[in-house]
Amino acid sequence: MKQRYGTQGCYLLKINSRTSNRGTGEQIPDPWSQYLQKNNIQNQDLIEDGPYSILTSKITENNVIPVDGLEHPVKDVFSNNFKTHPSQLDHLNDPGGNFECTDCVNQLDLVNETKKSISGTPHGACLTLTDHDRIRQFIQEFTFRGLIPHVEKTIRQLNDQLISRKGLSRSLFSATKKWFSGGKIPEKSINELKNTSGLLYPLEAPELQIRKMADLCFLVQHYDLAYNCYHTAKKDFLNDQAMLYAAGSLEMAAVSAFLQPGAPRPYPAHYMDTASQTYRDFCKSMVLAERCVLLSAEILKSQGKYSEAAALLIRLTSEDSDLRSALLLEQAAHCFINMKNPMVRKFAFHMILAGHRYSKAGQKKHALRCYCQAMQVYKGKGWSLAEDHINFTIGRQSFTLRQLDNAVSAFRHILINESKQPASQQAAFLREYLYVYKNVTQLSPDGPLPQLPLPYINCSSTRVFFGHDRRPAEGEKQAATHISLDQEYDNESSQQWKELEEKVVTTVNKGVMPLNFQPTQYCLSSYSDNCRFPLAVLHEPITVEVAFKNPLKVPLVLMDLSLLWKFQHRDFSGKHNGEAISNEKDMLPKGNCTNDMIGTEVISEFLISSEETKMARLKLFPHQTGELHILGVVYNLGTVQNTTTLDGVGSNTGLQAGKCSSNGLSVRGRQELEIQGPRLNNTKEEKTSIQYGPDRRLDPVITSQMPLLEVFFINFPTGLLCGEVRKAYVEFVNVSKCPLTRLKVVSKRPEFFTFGSTTAVLTPLSPSASENCSAYRTVVTESTSVSMALISSASPVDFGVGNQSEVIDVPLPDSVIHPGTSVQLPLWLRGPDEEGVHEINFLFYYESTEKQSKICHRVLRHTAVVCTSRSLNIQATICRSNTLEDDESKGGNMLVFVDVENMNTMEVGVKEFHIVQVSSSSKHWKFQKSINLFEEKDSKLTSRERGKLCFKAVRCQLTADTPYSTGRYAFGDIVFGNEQIISSTTPCADFFFRSCLSSELKISQQTSQVSGKSSFDEAVKLIQKCSEVSLNIIVLWKAYVVEDNKQLILEGQHHVMLHRIGKEALSFPQKQEPSEMVLLKFIRPENTSITARPSAEQLSNLIKTCLHYPESFSHPFHQKSLCLVPVTLVLSNCSEADVDVIIDLRHKMTSPEALEIHGSFTWLGQTQYKLQLKSQEVYSLQLKACFVHTGIYNLATPRVFAKLADQVTLVEASQQNSMPALIVINNI
């Protein structure tokens, strides 16, 4: 061979030095391991897509899913795979498209065998390491001794041949063209050229020799010479209209120009464009056009010209090949993302287009990959329509590839985001989601219930109510309002209920608040305190209100809706604990769960309209004590097929609409109720970090049975006149199986109602018997005793008025209400004194006869709303009387003036008011008689009329049987009619004690808080006490009202409290005007102690003075020039201490007016007296006045000074004179 081919053309290669049947213990490296993949692409696709794709294609053929025109129906995945890979085994392809189970099994076996054969085939088993070195040496010798010299020789020969063969003809041809054409020949456009792609050159053709020389230069990396040769060949091919050869030369010329070192010339991108267009349009070879475009795109990308590369790739896309267009669109998308300023949205858009073409080509995996990459761009940018489309496609592709979890996640995102799709499209999305979800649940029917995304649940709005629903009103029978889920939370009202409960608990425990006291909470919400486990009672329902929100524009139907819970039985009296059970496994899809431990209510159908927020109230019925944990809700989510008939249908007609939902898809699932507690902000660590406290509203503790009280009000009014007294009835019912006791009621307005005292038995006891009877206890009086007061007495203790006047014991007959029994009691009401709408809260407190470890008491709430109208306005004043005291008025006389005005303006049909009686009530004073200028028995007041009454009051006698000595109150009744209302009995005395004593208690608390350090405190108190009175006035009236052409008689009473002499008192409280703004001072005031000193007005009330004399005196001045008249000066000590008194008779009238009117006279005898009066002492001083002329004189000239006997430093003050003392001196 060396002799024949030469030494340079031969080489002896020794290989396969090792036999293949040697022991396998020797490890020989595989020379192809780094170049060959373990599995080829064809078999890899077969292994991954084989059985599942076949099954999927069969499912999708039988069950075509409607998409409402959004996309084409799901096609057979494997149809394109078999066409794309014809090298696969023929018997795997079923031309009929029907796959049986045996075909699936056979294909799995073939896949496994193929996988084993590929992974177990060795390479280079007969080669040793020495053979590897020999092969490397051979390649080196072949290259340098054979190949390169041969290429150089061939290039040299081709160059010489071309020069010798075409030198002359080329020069002649070029000259001829210049002579006859007159210039350069214009190049023809590609569209003008003929389709000569089928033209063939002989091997000896100069054009092909030039092309061959260019290819050899390109192979040896002589790119400059190769470019020139390609360029020359391109011109020749274009002249001959050999378009296929010309396009190839253009393509290689562009590549040669790009590969030239140093880049002497720019890359001719237009060469590549012309070549690809020629391949596509003239040669009809899309494969060559693809190659050209892909090569040019890589060159442009290497130069950073991503925009030109993307445009080049996009131009080649067409409708004839989906796979090629998908590849080009994907590469164009990557060009957009790799630009200097990345065009992210264009990248995502072209990835979606590529994914769509992949899907049409049957490449589901590539389509899914493209959509997932595009989703990363659109996610969270607010492009909801694009997100919905991408998620829908991802869900469909994932379902086709049997990636069910990814499919569910994609459809879930479509539903939970705020979609802007129309209702029809959302309905299609929902049907797709339910179909996919149903397939997922069928794979694991025994697994836990999956989480459903619809409808939304606002967990923080979840409310829990413990107890039965409130009964509706039945005629005149009105149930207590208590608390329900229909009431909105009011922070102020909640605080008031808490204070009322604290007050009654403190009263029951003798003024001590228990350490473990917690206010009762029947309704738990986000506003309540949920840090502790709530307490529920055995056999009483637990209602959970869940807020559902439908974000879609199509209605949703929740079927078999119920609560999901976990319960652990616990016996609180002992230590026996049961196992924790849950109804997640036991809950049947249909019907109620009649569990022995917890009964669960099931709502068969619950319709939520489009974009509606609706509350569902689900109940649990505990039958055993223990710990209950409410986990969430479980339901069947379904759609309504006939959605057009549901527009405008309310929640109440949802059950009827549910009939058309039975034909739709539905899946069983659950949603958790996880409530986040309040954020902690107490310690420094909690303030500097984000920590949340517990929320236990869904974790109640079921306690043993307790009594349950229901309260009904009969004939309870909604409108009253101010001060009107009305009689109603209240019924207490024990609906539990436990007796209740210690029933009390507490209210902030105890003056509004009363249950009466032991003296109230004379009034009717039933509602039917009291229709035409008075609410007061009355007796017939004699006409002779009209102007004189009728005296009686009563004690506040008899009417349940004590220190805690707001807590009232309900007078039960046996102090116990047994199970299933009821008690009916009368209830008197009095309209508040202020006009307007009043909300009056009643809190009923009761306990069980058996002590419980968890719950000590229970409460029942009731809020009464009463509207009051104006009635009477009463003003009263009191002053000292100057009349002589008799035996009955020993201790002082008082005059009481009462002004009564009718404030009603016929708003409620009131014709007139009649004052039927005025009564006094006091420990120290009582009415003696009425002093009226006109003796009218009937005091009638029409609209806006005013009447004035005057009464004489005397001090109560201090004997052993007096009301004062026993703490009782004396009632003096002045009757203006024929019937006396006994004011010391129910209900008159009840309302008096509740209204008046509560105000007195407030006044005493205010005065007790003011404590001075001066030594004059006791003296000041004594002096102040002189002008103080504790006289209360009760004005009882009747009003005649016309209503529905019937005349009704209303009764009522007003109270006026007189505390100080000369100070006006009103029957209704005055509105206090806001104090004026005071300038802010930044100077610290000096702490100067002010000595407590009584005022001059207070000092002037120590002594009461009264002059007794004849009104006229006749004297014969012609016989005797001096007229002497005896005058008695009566001094009364009004204080409870000894008082030093100085009487000065030297005082004269100094003003000229007084001298002119009254004249002048002289006192005879001693001109100054010094006396000391004991407590409450009355002293009479005999004086003589001397007159020299006839006339009218004022005897009120003595000046009286007084001071307390044991106080030396007090300033003596002049005592007030009640009125002028006029005397007429006549001449005989």
Q: Where along the chain do its domains lie?
A: 1-23+126-178, 41-120, 197-278, 456-467+522-677+694-702, 494-515+753-827+868-1001+1020-1069, 1097-1227
Sheet holding 1191-1194, edge to edge: 1112-1115, 1222-1227, 1191-1194
| Lowest mean pLDDT across 264-268, 1001-1005, 1039-1043 | 1001-1005
Residue 591, pLDDT score: 42
Residue 177, pLDDT score: 45
| Lowest mean pLDDT across 44-58, 403-417, 1041-1055 | 44-58
Task: Give the DSSP letter string of 122-150.
Answer: -S-TT--HHHHHHHHHHHHHIIIIIIHHH
Rounded (10°) angle between helices 206-219 and 148-181: 140
Name residue 1105's beta-bridge partners: 1131
Cβ atoms of 1203 and 1212 closer than 8 Å: yes
Task: Give the DSSP letter string of 699-714.
Answer: --EEEPP---EEEEEE
Cβ atoms of 917 and 1210 closer than 8 Å: no
Question: What's the rounded mean pLDDT across residues 100-111?
Answer: 42
* Residues in CB range of 1018: below 8 A, 6 or more apart: none
- The enclosing H or E element of 1039 equals strand 1028-1043
Residue 57, pLDDT score: 39
Residue 46, pLDDT score: 41
Residue 653, pLDDT score: 36
| Lowest mean pLDDT across 21-25, 86-90, 126-130, 627-631 | 86-90
Domain at 1097-1227, CATH homologous superfamily: Immunoglobulins (2.60.40.10)
The upper half-sphere exposure of residue 590, i.e. CA atoms within 13 Å in the direction of its Cβ, equals: 0
Residue 1105, pLDDT score: 83
pLDDT above 90 (res 39): no
Pairing of strands 535-537, 701-703: parallel
Question: What's the rounded mean pLDDT across residues 1002-1010?
Answer: 56
Q: What is the pLDDT of residues 702-724, one digit of tens each?
A: 999 999 999 999 989 999 999 99
Question: What's the rounded mean pLDDT across residues 148-170?
Answer: 78
Q: What is the pLDDT of residues 964-979, one digit of tens each?
A: 446 788 888 888 878 8
Confidence of residue 95 (pLDDT cuts 50, 70, 90): very low
**Count of Cβ atoms closer than 10 Å to residue 58 Cβ:** 17
* Residues in CB range of 1208: below 8 A, 6 or more apart: none
Pairing of strands 858-869, 719-721: parallel
Confidence of residue 463 (pLDDT cuts 50, 70, 90): very high
Count Cβ atoms within 10 A of the Cβ of residue 763 and give its class: 0-12 exposed, 13-18 middle, 19 or more buried. buried
**Terminal C-alpha separation, the chain:** 195
Question: Which of 564-573, 693-702, 926-935 shows the highest mean pLDDT?
Answer: 693-702
Instruction: Give the angle subtended at the CA of 763 by the CAs of 761 and 769, to the nearest 5°.
Output: 125
Question: What's the rounded mean pLDDT across residues 721-740?
Answer: 92
Residue 656, pLDDT score: 38
Pairing of strands 872-880, 724-734: unpaired
Residue 907, pLDDT score: 64
Q: What is the pLDDT of residues 830-864, one digit of tens each?
A: 999 999 999 999 999 999 988 877 888 999 999 99
CA distance 234 to 227: 10
Name residue 1183's beta-bridge partners: 1127
Q: What percent of the chain has pLDDT over 90?
A: 31
Q: What percent of the chain has pLDDT over 70?
A: 75
Confidence of residue 781 (pLDDT cuts 50, 70, 90): confident
Confidence of residue 1072 (pLDDT cuts 50, 70, 90): low
Backbone angles phi, psi at 457, to 5 degrees: -125, 120
| Lowest mean pLDDT across 418-422, 566-570, 943-947 | 418-422
Question: What's the rounded mean pLDDT across residues 359-368?
Answer: 92
Question: What's the rounded mean pLDDT across residues 72-98?
Answer: 35
Q: What is the pLDDT of residues 870-920, one digit of tens each?
A: 899 999 999 887 776 665 556 678 889 999 999 887 666 788 899 999 999
Q: What is the pLDDT of residues 590-637, one digit of tens each?
A: 444 446 788 999 999 999 998 899 999 999 999 989 999 999 999 999
Q: What is the pLDDT of residues 196-232, one digit of tens each?
A: 455 788 888 888 999 999 999 999 999 999 999 999 9
Better-scored residue on pLDDT, 794 or 234: 234
CA distance 583 to 565: 6
Closest CA to 607 of 639, 641, 642: 639
pLDDT above 50 (res 110): no
Residue 887 in tokens: 């035996």
Residue 408, pLDDT score: 82
Cβ atoms of 706 and 855 closer than 8 Å: yes
Residue 1214, pLDDT score: 60
Residue with token string 């003929």: 194
Q: What is the pLDDT of residues 275-329, one digit of tens each?
A: 999 999 888 889 999 999 999 999 999 999 999 999 999 998 888 889 999 999 9
Q: Which residues of 1142-1152 are buried (b: 16+ CB within 10 A; e: fewer)?
A: ebebeeebeee
Residue 1108, pLDDT score: 87
Residue with token string 């390609």: 230
Residue 38, pLDDT score: 59
Question: Which of 618-622, 791-795, 805-809, 1015-1019 shows the highest mean pLDDT?
Answer: 618-622
Question: What's the rounded mean pLDDT across residues 1129-1153?
Answer: 76
Residue 728, pLDDT score: 92
Residue 1222 in tokens: 């006029």
Q: What is the pLDDT of residues 21-30, one digit of tens each?
A: 655 566 777 8
Instruction: Give me the count of residues in the chain.
Output: 1228
Q: Which amino acid is at 847?
A: E
pLDDT above 90 (res 87): no
Residue 325, pLDDT score: 93
Residue 881, pLDDT score: 79
pLDDT above 70 (res 1011): no
Residue 819, pLDDT score: 93
- The whole-chain average pLDDT of the chain stands at 79
pLDDT above 90 (res 564): yes
**SS3 call for 1116:** coil
pLDDT above 80 (res 500): yes
